[in-house]
Structure 1
């Protein structure tokens, strides 16, 4: 996004880009500033670049209304403490009432001030329309909420005030919070996963939010302290119904704590207020695990230990990173995980997960691997002992052991759809061991769940309804509290994330999927999806008028330019593992089964095959 030609030469915020030569640290920056080179004013960074810094400057004496509006919009993108310089563009009372922390409106490009018009009789001064294309909001809980790109139009009002230098134009009315273009938002903020426990279970669930990359202008907290504070504030509203936190209500950082520092052993001490002083060790350990997981991907070095402290400074408990792994959503961390696919003879085959080089596939034991059940799609349980396979005509779903000889039992789900495309979807296993599948029959559509992959299928209600959309495909998260759904309506397939709710008796819960929200709003149509981490998805789709892409998306619907993966043609299926270091696997109609190791390009695994999956 280039600078508005009408603004050339106007004085605004200074945007400085410098190579960071200091060691790898959490807060971007060095101990000294560059002492040479040019500094110049620009409207906005052309891309998200965390090495670009914006230094706001106050309005000059006699600044024109255009300069006041432009300077204020650019000052909003800075890290200035409490946005002090941005406030110099406001009337004193307006400055006192302005709350930048009230939320952020994210536009596709930097906001543009249109032509000014004269205010009415009741509002003398100048009105500037603030224009753009809104793509998201970030609320007071730091939760990112995408919206269908919508025209944004708000008003900034200016009047003149008397001062020692005579009359000066200043802003006396403006939209609430911050208004940022996407590139400035990505430069200033980063996605962070807070972690809470799935209701009634010792499994942690990721709750993605956005934190400032550097010191927060309002609280002056660094990203580590910001993230711990946000964790203590509780889960976001969307996730709150299905998670819980062992932190006692009212727990905060101890009074006066503005920074949390690591020692030379990468251990972090977290002082808490009196609300947490009397928790028992078991509860304290779970609290520490939440902090360890929250900080795991935030720092440049691994967090090895967290020590929680009482308000008086005494130790509550200590937990190291190895002990915390017991609360991970998937308990298979550290062991090889196999990649599975349907071979050219419609049998289930696997590629050894521990092999560094491409290995020869082998068929699994039992009816899924010996040809007894010709299949089209498969889902492998996370323990890799059991699998669920859809028959070649998509009409029946079977469950069988794949670790040794076994007999093919009766179908556990049947569909009577009139064509293969209107029958069963690919199955998916959650981290609880439950099996999920959708019946795509237009006359009898349904989402089914089989507890522990057995017994009578239970129909899952979707609240509110799908409004005529059909479930094309599904993938359930490892923690079992979120589900990704591909929904087809009017010949377009979109991706949405739903919350899996399980109210009712523990042994007989009433399972439903609630509050679907878009997870790839910028894509016109989506072909395939897979979970690729605690809050990340790998998505195959295309934007309006664009070509097919394989890219990473956050479950909150956010992404960045760097998320687009190397090109691959005619992709029909994709699979990823919760451990983000494992290679992606995909099925391309041109190239067969392929994989994408970290830092490499796509490699062909098997020329003839389809429906690749990781366990899950």
Structure 2
């Protein structure tokens, strides 16, 4: 924020704003929850229709696309639209191409029918989404006569589905891994090709491992080659029994505990479950503490979630160079000590705070120095000096981040303990770009960045692993009628969701948008109006997030729900929601 491999089998096994808004001045504060679109009501099955007799080539193509979108197990009906040889050859499990805005074409008397569409993303065989932009799908389907009926002889590799189908017929499910060397868990969303998906599909996705992009930044206790055995996951009285095959007998107790945690956190996506037991070679498996003598209950799982439990932390702010807090009504109260009285030899320009680690980082108004201290102390230590220090960030563990710019190229800086001088972080992938804003994910394995290259801005993700930050992946901010062109700020509202401050062009107002961390969805959440919004700050929490906006005039808006923002009285020059 500104301041701061069974893979190829998985899809087979699984296959399956408002026009007006208000800015109230009071009322209960609600949380930002992920806007992943609801599945078809009750997980309603969509039954595909077999080919109609004497159907034209374009009708055959339409039926085939609809049959693919139904996600029917085995795709029996979809194969009926293919020639016998093509039906045997076609493998829908190799991946999914996701498109938007398709047009279809055929000529009278032609033996071909075609589809042209804008590709917005793809799923790999494990169900990991990768957003795309700039690619056009052009697919011609050749028809052959089989017993006097038109059938497709050249099906695509994998599935072709619309973005609507992805959001409404696939099931987004988090599977969980560990931060290396830590007890903190990290979720990665997979899109399971069934609605609703069951525990077996989620377990298979976990066993398949993290995505290629995420793998260097996370750890898994699942041994290579581990499989879900028959009869799959069975559930009795809320307890899921998971039979596994693989090299599990020699796994040491610490790794067994981690594997049980990964399975349990993954199964928490299913409200009907309350516990699990793992069976290997027909015997209950686990450790003396977890799983051997009794089921592991989901409310008592080992491992730490990536976001903190709900807490009503008062945000910090800067007013006239002094640091203080904002209460629920937006009233400013200066801190005691030198930061609240401007007695430290400078005036605060920007800041970041971690209440969990009690670290506060302050950049002076001139933007040339970053100091840090512990909350409640008056001794400030100089951590960074540059011509232009920007975007201070303090993570929940106390790590201090900042960026520098000015005449020099943008650079990122970090101090691991909050008490030493910040050191430059080498990120060759950012060469030639200006770092506008950035935000560290709650579990500190990913870095969301807003980059400017020339007149263009973009949103990207980087991996954080040990002393390395790399793996830049750009997230296209385009969906349906939404096309974000000017991005100003970014923050995390959950372990799998971002909020960005952006506009759709020079003449459109700046607004807040919720964005999936995999780029799968973009949603405008307001506020309406012509405010010149310049800063966003967020705090992910167990049941959602706190999100605040600041305008250039110092007005503060607090998120309540989509298109409902509470306006707080008073004016501030900077906001900081504690991490």
TM-score (norm 1): 0.79
Is 2:61 the partner of 1:82?
A: no
Residue in 2 that maps onto 1:513: 470
Alpha carbons of structure 1 residues 74 and 547: separation in structure 2 relative to 1, 3 Å: farther
Check conservation: 2:527, 2:563, Cα contact below 8 A: no
Instruction: State the alpha-carbon separation in 2 of the partners of residues 105 and 65 from structure 1.
Output: 22
Instruction: State the alpha-carbon separation in 2 of the partners of residues 68 and 475 from structure 1.
Output: 48
Is 2:572 the partner of 1:609?
A: yes
Check conservation: 1:396, 1:415, Cα contact below 8 A: yes
Residue in 2 that maps onto 1:456: 421
Residue in 2 that maps onto 1:593: 556
Q: Secondary structure of the residue that 1:68 maps to in structure 2?
A: helix
Equivalent of 2:438 in 471, 474, 478: 474
**After superposition, what is the alpha-carbon deviation per residue over 1:547-597, rounded to whole angstroms, capped at 9, x for unaligned?**
433121111112155x63553633222222221434322213467112123
Residue in 2 that maps onto 1:338: 314
- Which residues of structure 2 form unaligned runs of 5+? 1-14, 17-36
Residue in 1 that maps onto 2:166: 185
- Which residues of structure 1 form unaligned runs of 5+? 1-26, 29-46, 119-124, 216-221, 417-422, 503-509
Alpha carbons of structure 1 residues 295 and 524: separation in structure 2 relative to 1, 3 Å: farther
Alpha carbons of structure 1 residues 370 and 566: separation in structure 2 relative to 1, 3 Å: same
Number of aligned positions between the proteins: 527
Q: Secondary structure of the residue that 2:226 maps to in structure 1?
A: coil
More strand by proportion, 1 or 2? Answer: 2
**After superposition, what is the alpha-carbon deviation per residue over 1:404-435, rounded to whole angstroms, capped at 9, x for unaligned?**
241233x311122xxxxxx2222112344321
Bigger relative contact order (CA 8 A; separation at least 6): 2
Which segment drifts farther, 276-285 or 377-386? 276-285
| RMSD over aligned Cα atoms | 2.7
Q: Secondary structure of the residue that 2:540 maps to in structure 1?
A: coil
Instruction: State the alpha-carbon separation in 1 of the partners of residues 372 and 175 from structure 2.
Output: 35
Residue in 2 that maps onto 1:305: 275
Equivalent of 1:489 in 443, 449, 453: 453
Task: Note the C-alpha offset of 1:151.
Answer: 2.4
Instruction: State the alpha-carbon separation in 2 of the partners of residues 206 and 397 from structure 1.
Output: 33
**After superposition, what is the alpha-carbon deviation per residue over 1:228-272, rounded to whole angstroms, capped at 9, x for unaligned?**
110011111001011111122222212331x443x44x4433222
Check conservation: 2:100, 2:162, Cα contact below 8 A: yes
Check conservation: 1:48, 1:184, Cα contact below 8 A: no
**After superposition, what is the alpha-carbon deviation per residue over 1:99-152, rounded to whole angstroms, capped at 9, x for unaligned?**
11211111123x33213498xxxxxx7232320111111111211111124322
**After superposition, what is the alpha-carbon deviation per residue over 1:175-232, rounded to whole angstroms, capped at 9, x for unaligned?**
21111121122111132221111122221112122123426xxxxxx33221111001
TM-score (norm 2): 0.84
Instruction: State the alpha-carbon separation in 2 of the partners of residues 295 and 139 from structure 1.
Output: 22
Q: How does 1:423-572 map to 2 (within 5 A)?
A: 423-463=388-428, 465-502=429-466, 510-518=467-475, 520=477, 522-544=483-505, 546-559=508-521, 561=523, 564-567=525-528, 569-572=531-534
Q: Secondary structure of the residue that 2:131 maps to in structure 1?
A: strand
Which segment drifts farther, 310-319 or 71-80? 310-319
Check conservation: 1:341, 1:612, Cα contact below 8 A: yes
Task: Note the C-alpha offset of 1:300.
Answer: 4.2
Q: Secondary structure of the residue that 1:108 maps to in structure 2?
A: strand
Q: Secondary structure of the residue that 2:340 maps to in structure 1?
A: coil
Instruction: State the alpha-carbon separation in 2 of the partners of residues 299 and 48 from structure 1.
Output: 15
